Structures are given as structure tokens and as C-alpha cells.
A and B are shown apart, each in its own frame.
Chain A
Amino acid sequence: MFVSDFRKEFYEVVQSQRVLLFVASDVDALCACKILQALFQCDHVQYTLVPVSGWQELETAFLEHKEQFHYFILINCGANVDLLDILQPDEDAIFFVCDTHRPVNVVNVYNDAQIKLLIKQDDDLEVPAYDDIFRDEEEDEEHSGSESDNGSEPSEKRTRLEEEIVARTMKRRQRREWEAQRRDILFDYEQYEYHGTSSAMVMFDLAWMMSKDLNDMLWWAIVGLTDQWVQDKITQMKYVTDVGVLQRHVSRHNHRNEDEENALSVDCTRISFEYDLRLALYQHWSLHDSLCNTCYTAARFKLWSVHGQKRLQEFLADVGLPLKQVKQKFQSMDISLKENLREMIEESANKFGMKDMRVQTFSIHFGFKHRFLASDVVFATMSLMESPKKDSSGTDNFIQALDSLSRSNLDKLYHGLELAKKQLQATQQTIASCLCTNLVISQGPFLYCSLMEGTPDIALFSKPASLTLLSRYLLKSFVFSTKNRRCKLLPLVMAAPLSVEQGTVTVVGIPPETDSSDRKNFFGRAFEKAAESTNSRTLHNHFDLSVIELKAEDRSKFLDALVSLLS
């Protein structure tokens, strides 16, 4: 059931108890977790934090811990499946689920006792009505009971029997119609996967309601929202609306900076709203590198071709930036050039067909040296979490990434920035090679691309978020590179090798790229059906149902099934 008053029905309930937090492995979940941890530490709530990266880990961790806790909080996992069925908890276990995955499973919505959803109900949920899906089973039993009660005269019995038979067949027909309607409703409801409001923002809202919100928590909420935008999980309109909401909080917390007399010391955290360039990590890199490795500019300039490189040079000349300046570190560029940089770049970008060069975002600074845009932090944390070190396990990376969000661990954040640079460069190189060697083939209802084992940096793309990002960028670049109008509207299925010993590949499905797409992804259900129909050995382990693991031998029959399913 949906929790209406977060404070009374959630926070005050857990405040006096010990809780277990299950946190999924994405940046939004990390931010929500940090906000909740700060609140719990403020109120001395004893908690245990367990990172989980998939359904199997969630189940194992739950089995290990279930005797010790009664209250469980799940962040960014668990809303889109039947939780009680998967976890099989005891009667008195209570789950609080704060998840951005939609659609919310109907069992979770209508279970009043054990599952409480920390989701705002105006979040465009469109849950089907209760009566359309659930029906009491008692009516059939009443029927068979009254049948055996008949003991009177045969003639009366016969007419009554006939009436009863007629009534029963009517009821059965009604029931069959109802069930067919139910299947349709559920199919429509569960067909598309999408994402709702960021969990970090939900947690920040809770903190604000209790008047315990701080600037740090606001920054984490901003990073959570920006993560959803970077990974293309929400529509542009929703992003702008949410930015507006956060902007009000930012001005509430940070208004002292405008006043010259009462300004805070330079070392204090300041968050400010920026209408800044869309180039990834440009302040920590050189402008040239950033232009080459941001998907937005790389796709529109078509930087994988020689012609594209020339266009980039033209663009820089148009802006008025000398090549030598542009190739050195951004912080060492001439101040005269940096002054009006954003406006100059935007003007020239408009001439070259890039209308959205600037986006609304936020930046944080403390001290003279440390200044970060929200997207910088998102890229850094994502790279830390998915860095493919051989000897560290998934939870080590999680802990690293969690630490990097604290202000006292800036060295980890800078390390994350370096990793993010490598990741972005590897992504662009892989995209360039895929497009130049025509690895993206049309299978009919979708495009298909498969990364080979020997591709450089293939280890970087075995994790789901990196692979998803690569696939999205690849689709965007492909749309700009192809002349075939029909291909531009097709979705993409991408496969990358996961583990050589077990012979598995990770398969990701991306919805088609259109200007006003609502980011709804149907590949989750499509993959499930295709796997069932061909008996392929798949593992639907990730919380995002559109990412699966597949045995390499079953790849071709799986794809064939997918083609027939979607055409």
C-alpha cells in the first residue's frame, strides 16, 4: 500500500526499531541511502546496510538476516515484482520500498499489511482498480454448498437443478470474460518499464518535512536527480520540473551567498543553480577532450569520421578559441577566454544545429579549488561503482562509491573523475569502431550490435549501467550516422561478453530514440517471453528488467524468438 504520511507511517515507526537497509547499486540509490543514513544517525536509529546488485543477492542477504530484523527498507529495488512471493518473509516482517522502477507490481500496491510503498501517489502511476484484478473466491464455494443442500422432491429438484445449471454457466462465462479482461489490463499495465521520481528526492522530501534537511542532503538529492537525467531514465519535462522543485530548496539554503556582508566563509558548502554547458567533465578536463567525448557533441559532429573532425575545428574557430588553448586543461585556459565561454559556445552551437547545448543544473563548491557540477559527480560515482578491478568484489566498489559522496573523501571523488574520463574515452572509441565497421545491423523490428571478445576495454562494459550508457550513446550516434529513415526509429539490442569461463553475455535493450520519447522500455517483458519460448538459459538478475545475462550458445535462437515476437 502507498504510505500517505511519510513521517508518521514510516519514520516514526522505524525510529525506535532496528532496521535493515537493502540498497541497489546505482547512484540514485546511493544518494538516497546517504540521506537516510544521515537522518538515522541524527536520531540514533540502529541500522544495518547491505548492498545488493541483483535479485539473487537480495534473496541470499534476506535469508541470512531475516531472523534478526522485523523492519526492512529497500531502496531502488523491489517495487516491480511480487516481493512476498520472492522473499517469502515471516508474518510480522514489514517492508518499506522506495523505488523508482515502474510499474509497481499490483500485489505490492494492494497488500496492506506487510508492504508499504514510499512513493508519491501523484507520480503518474495508473494502477488498475482493485476490482478489476482481484476477485473473491467465495462465490464458487457458496454455489457448491447450496447444491448439496437440496434434498426435497424430485420435480422441484429438477427445475431447481436446471435453473442452477443455467445460473452456473452464466457465472462461468462472466468469470471467463472477467479473467480475459484482467489479463488485458495487466498486460497493458506491465508492458512498459519506466522510472518515477528519484528516490533521493523522495528521501530529501521526508527530511524537509521533518525540518532536518541540510545543504549536504540537498546536494545528494541533486546528484540523484542528475543521475536519472544522465542515464536517460526520465523525460526532459520531468527533469525540468524536478529541477524547479530543487531550485527552490537551493535558494532557501544558499541565499546568504548573494549578500556581500553576511556571506559565508569560502570553505562552507555552497550550491548554486547553473545554466551550464552539457559537456561532460569539462572543468576537470580539457575543452577539446570534453567536446570529443560527450555523446551529444560527438554524435552531432559525427566525430568518428574525418569530415566530423574538420567540423569540430570549424566549430572551435567559430567560437574563437585557439586550438592550443582548447587542448590544455580547462583550469589553465586564459581567463579572458573563460569569461563568456558559455554564451559563445551556445551561440556557435546554435549555428551548427545543436540547440540544447546548455542545460539547467547545479554546482557545488567549497574551498577555492573544489568545484563540481552535478553531472561530474554522477559520472565519477558511476565509474567508481562499476570499475572492473579484478580482485575487488561488487560490494567493495559499492563502499568506495558510497564514500566518495562524502565531502571528506575528495581524493576518492577525484579518483572517480579519472576513471570516468577513461570510461568516456573508451565508450567513444568503441562507438567509433562499431559505426566504422558497420557492426550495427538491422534485424527487422530492432537493431542489433554485438561486441566481440577482443575489443579493447571490453571489461569496462560488462556491468549493466556502463553497457546501458554505451548502448544509448551508440543508438544516438547511429541515428545521426545512418541515412535510412526507417532505421532511425528502431530500438537497439546490444550484447557484450560478460564472463569468458561461463560463456555468458549481457544483453541490454534500449527503446528507440525520438525527440519526445517517454522513455518507456518494453524489452523487459519481451526478453522474458523470448527466453521462455526458446528455453534459453537466461538470468534475469538485475533490478532493471531490460538487462539480462544469456548463455552465448543460446544467443541466436533467443534473437530469432525476439524478432518473431516483436514483428
Chain B
Amino acid sequence: MIYENKIKRNEVKSGGQSDLIPTIKFRHCSLLRNRRCAVAYLYDRLLRIRALRWEYGSVLPNALRFHMSAEEMEWFNRYKKSLATYMRSLGGDEGLDITQDMKPPKSLYIEVRCLKDYGEFEVDDGTSVLLKKNSQHFLPRWKCEQLVRQGILEHVLS
């Protein structure tokens, strides 16, 4: 659209219809503004997708993926890769997972209460815990954080 507008302007300039020039300038400015808004919206979407990686981990739920375009998915995958490379480069041989422990942890294990029926949940030594509504569990913090963020478990402070 901007291109068409420029062509029109050139025509007018060459055609000598100088009273159309302000209209063209106005249209140009409004087109620029629309473009800026669209770019701002796309940028905000990118920032939110970046936050999704920190919130949900590397696999996004299907409902969210449905709302993202193919380019956004590709951007997400590339962001994931660069974050993973960065994390691997920290902390010696194994790398450091910095998406855990968003707030400084107070203890190794936390007491959590299950708000909805979730089903079986695997613990470190291979056994699993059945998460039923209103059952309380005392589990290692790093296993529970994901579920706490998703709202399935609730951290009980006593």
C-alpha cells in the first residue's frame, strides 16, 4: 500500500497536481502509523511467546500451539535452541537449568495440595504418586514447580 502511495505521489509530482500532495502525505503518515501498530502487536506476541517458554517449559500445550502461526513456531524453536545452548554453556559439564527456581527456594521439599484430579505423576526414583483432589503431598521442590505454575498443585504454607 505504501508502494502504491509512492507511485501515486510521483505521478502527481510529475503531473503537476500540487493540491493533491497534502492528501498523499497524510495517507502516507497514516499508513506508516498502521504499520507501526502492526509491528508493535507482532513484537508483543513474540515477547509473550518468549515468556511461554519460561512458564510452560519446552513443550507447549496444543491449545496454545493452535493460536500461533508457523513463523512464530519457528521463532519459538530457535529461541528454545539458543536458550538451551546458553544453559549448557553455564555451570561446568552438565549445564544449569535456569528455568527452575524462579524465586529463591526456602527448602528442598515443599508441601503441596492437589486442587484437581491429575492422575499419576512420576517421582525421581521411578515410582509414581497419584494426584487426586484434596490429597496433600510432600515432594521435592523441583518436581512440583511446573505443576504449581499450572495451577494443579497448590503450595501450602503453614
Query: Chain A residues in contact with chain B, CB under 8 A?
Result: 18, 37, 40-41, 44-51, 64-65, 68-69, 393, 395-396, 398-399, 403, 406, 408-409
List, in ascending order, chain B residues with CB within 8 A of A50's CB: 132, 135
Q: How far is the CA of A51 from the CA of B133 in the complex (A)?
A: 11
Question: In the bound complex, do residue B134 and residue A51 qualify as a contact, i.e. CB atoms below 8 Å apart?
Answer: yes
Whole-angstrom distance from the CB of A47 to the nearest CB of chain B?
Answer: 5
Contact string against A for B residues 124-158, beta-carbon threshold 8 Å, 1 for contact and 0 otherwise: 00011110111111111000000000000000111
Question: In the bound complex, do residue B134 and residue A398 qualify as a contact, i.e. CB atoms below 8 Å apart?
Answer: yes
Question: In the bound complex, do residue A44 and residue B108 qualify as a contact, i.e. CB atoms below 8 Å apart?
Answer: yes
Tell which of A40, A45, A64, A408 touches B157, judged by Cβ atoms closer than 8 Å: A408
Question: In the bound complex, do residue B127 and residue A68 qualify as a contact, i.e. CB atoms below 8 Å apart?
Answer: yes
Question: In the bound complex, do residue A68 and residue B109 qualify as a contact, i.e. CB atoms below 8 Å apart?
Answer: no
Question: In the bound complex, do residue A45 and residue B134 qualify as a contact, i.e. CB atoms below 8 Å apart?
Answer: no
Question: In the bound complex, do residue B132 and residue A64 qualify as a contact, i.e. CB atoms below 8 Å apart?
Answer: yes
Question: In the bound complex, do residue B134 and residue A40 qualify as a contact, i.e. CB atoms below 8 Å apart?
Answer: no
Question: In the bound complex, do residue B134 and residue A47 qualify as a contact, i.e. CB atoms below 8 Å apart?
Answer: no
List, in ascending order, chain A residues with CB within 8 A of B140's CB: 46
Q: How far is the CA of A220 from the CA of B21 in the complex (A)?
A: 85
List, in ascending order, chain B residues with CB within 8 A of A68's CB: 120, 127-130
Q: How far is the CA of A178 from the CA of B148 in the complex (A)?
A: 61
Contacts A18-B123, A399-B113 hold; do A48 and B136 have CB atoms under 8 A apart?
A: yes
Number of inter-chain CB pairs below 8 Å: 57
List, in ascending order, chain B residues with CB within 8 A of A403's CB: 156, 158
Tell which of B128, B132, B135, B138 touches A46, judged by Cβ atoms closer than 8 Å: B138
Q: Is B111 an interface residue when CB atoms closer than 8 A count as contact?
A: yes
Q: How far is the CA of A47 from the CA of B138 in the complex (A)?
A: 5
Question: In the bound complex, do residue B109 and residue A44 qualify as a contact, i.e. CB atoms below 8 Å apart?
Answer: yes
Whole-angstrom distance from the CB of A43 to the nearest CB of chain B?
Answer: 10
Query: Chain B residues in contact with chain A, CB under 8 A?
Result: 108-109, 111, 113, 120, 123, 127-130, 132-140, 156-158
Beta-carbon nearest neighbor of B131 in chain A: A48
Q: How far is the CA of A408 from the CA of B156 in the complex (A)?
A: 11
Tell which of A49, A69, A408 touches B136, judged by Cβ atoms closer than 8 Å: A49
Q: How far is the CA of A37 from the CA of B140 in the complex (A)?
A: 15
Q: Using A395-B134, A399-B136 as known contacts, list a sample of 10 further A-B pairs with CB atoms less than 8 Å apart, ordered by residue number in A.
A: A18-B123, A37-B138, A44-B108, A46-B138, A46-B139, A47-B138, A48-B135, A49-B137, A51-B134, A399-B113
Beta-carbon nearest neighbor of B114 in chain A: A48
Beta-carbon nearest neighbor of B136 in chain A: A49
Q: How far is the CA of A46 from the CA of B123 in the complex (A)?
A: 10
List, in ascending order, chain B residues with CB within 8 A of A49's CB: 135-137
Q: How far is the CA of A399 from the CA of B130 in the complex (A)?
A: 18
List, in ascending order, chain A residues with CB within 8 A of B129's CB: 18, 48, 68
Question: In the bound complex, do residue A47 and residue B137 qualify as a contact, i.e. CB atoms below 8 Å apart?
Answer: yes
Q: How far is the CA of A48 from the CA of B120 in the complex (A)?
A: 13
Whole-angstrom distance from the CB of A469 to the nearest CB of chain B?
Answer: 25
Q: How far is the CA of A251 from the CA of B113 in the complex (A)?
A: 35
Question: In the bound complex, do residue B130 and residue A64 qualify as a contact, i.e. CB atoms below 8 Å apart?
Answer: yes
Question: In the bound complex, do residue A45 and residue B138 qualify as a contact, i.e. CB atoms below 8 Å apart?
Answer: yes
Contacts A41-B109, A46-B109, A46-B138 hold; do A395 and B133 have CB atoms under 8 A apart?
A: yes
List, in ascending order, chain A residues with CB within 8 A of B123's CB: 18, 46
> Could you jot down 16 A-B contacts, CB within 8 Å?
A37-B138, A41-B138, A44-B109, A46-B137, A48-B130, A49-B137, A51-B135, A64-B130, A64-B132, A65-B130, A68-B128, A68-B130, A395-B133, A395-B135, A399-B134, A406-B158
Q: How far is the CA of A45 from the CA of B158 in the complex (A)?
A: 17
Whole-angstrom distance from the CB of A63 to the nearest CB of chain B?
Answer: 11
List, in ascending order, chain B residues with CB within 8 A of A399's CB: 113, 134, 136
List, in ascending order, chain A residues with CB within 8 A of B156's CB: 403
10 tightest Cβ-Cβ pairs between the two chains A and B: A395-B134, A49-B136, A406-B158, A48-B137, A47-B138, A50-B135, A44-B109, A68-B127, A46-B138, A399-B134
Q: How far is the CA of A214 from the CA of B107 in the complex (A)?
A: 20
Whole-angstrom distance from the CB of B123 to the nearest CB of chain A?
Answer: 7
List, in ascending order, chain B residues with CB within 8 A of A64's CB: 130, 132
Contacts A47-B138, A398-B134 hold; do A408 and B127 have CB atoms under 8 A apart?
A: no
Q: How far is the CA of A40 from the CA of B133 in the complex (A)?
A: 22
Q: How far is the CA of A406 from the CA of B130 in the complex (A)?
A: 26
Q: How far is the CA of A47 from the CA of B127 in the complex (A)?
A: 13
Q: How far is the CA of A65 from the CA of B129 in the complex (A)?
A: 8
List, in ascending order, chain B residues with CB within 8 A of A45's CB: 138
Whole-angstrom distance from the CB of B51 to the nearest CB of chain A?
Answer: 31
List, in ascending order, chain A residues with CB within 8 A of B135's CB: 48-51, 395
List, in ascending order, chain A residues with CB within 8 A of B134's CB: 51, 393, 395-396, 398-399
List, in ascending order, chain B residues with CB within 8 A of A398's CB: 134
Whole-angstrom distance from the CB of B107 to the nearest CB of chain A?
Answer: 8
Q: How far is the CA of A64 from the CA of B128 in the complex (A)?
A: 12
Beta-carbon nearest neighbor of A47 in chain B: B138
